[in-house]
Amino acid sequence: MLDILYLDDYLAIVNKPAGWLVHRTPLDKGETRFVLQTLRDQIGQHVWPVHRLDKGTSGVLLFALDADTARTLGQAFESGEGLQKTYRAVVRGWPADSGLIDHPLKRMPDDMRTERQEVQPAQSRFATLHHFELPLPQQGFASTRCAEVALEPLTGRRHQLRRHMKHIAHPIMGDATHGKGPLNRAVADLIGLQRLWLHATRLQLAHPVSAQPLAIEAPLPAEWGLWTTFPECPTAVRA
């Protein structure tokens, strides 16, 4: 059963579990857990995905309950007007207190619209919330620094947050594509869980029919508490 965060005659918003695909895809033929099909069966009607979260990402995921609403919301997500998405992540290293990442991104190989490589403008904001040190030696250091950050994508590019955090040398923990494999495996062994540490915490938008503002939040997964076992480092000691 999916955790349904909001449901009316036009929208269904769920808290997507990490490791679930939004819908079936030939790129991952062995997967058996799909949010779209599970939600359809759970509420007993067809649903239309409005946006997507990566398989490893958990959190707020929006579906429309009819084609017209899906079209309206799709246009809103395309333009970004009236939308605000916020995420929580655990990253390698200690980023600055806050910042704007303004770094264009090429379309992913399976998202090319033409034969040429298209480059799209992309912007993300980040704010550092907590700093930790893990008892994992790395690159000559006795421990591994990591941080919990809040992220806000200002554009909607594929893997945008994951690619932007890699760009500023603070990849998201557990990111098999844009992170560091040996570190990911060491962290998974240390805390006893392997996942992409990225969670969509909040979605704000205007309701497509009533125009009333909606702000839907997905609580952090229980496993996020694993990070509290490591003492927080005061920001004053950052290098």
Residue positions annotated with a catalytic role: 54
Give a three-class secondary structure readout of 26-70.
HHHCCCCCEHHHHHHHHHCCCCEECCCCCCCCEEEEEEECCHHHH
Q: Give the integer Cα–Cα distance in Å for 122 and 140.
A: 34
- What one-character DSSP code corresponds to residue 173? T
Going from the C-alpha of 73 to that of each of 4, 122, 155, 209, the distances in angstroms are 19, 20, 15, 10
Terminal Cα-to-Cα distance of the chain (whole angstroms):
45
Q: What angle do CA 28, 29, 32 make, to 5 degrees?
A: 95
Q: Which residue has the tokens 């009533």?
A: 210
- Give the phi and the psi of residue 133 in degrees, each rounded to 5: -125, 130
Q: Give the integer Cα–Cα distance in Å for 124 and 137.
A: 30
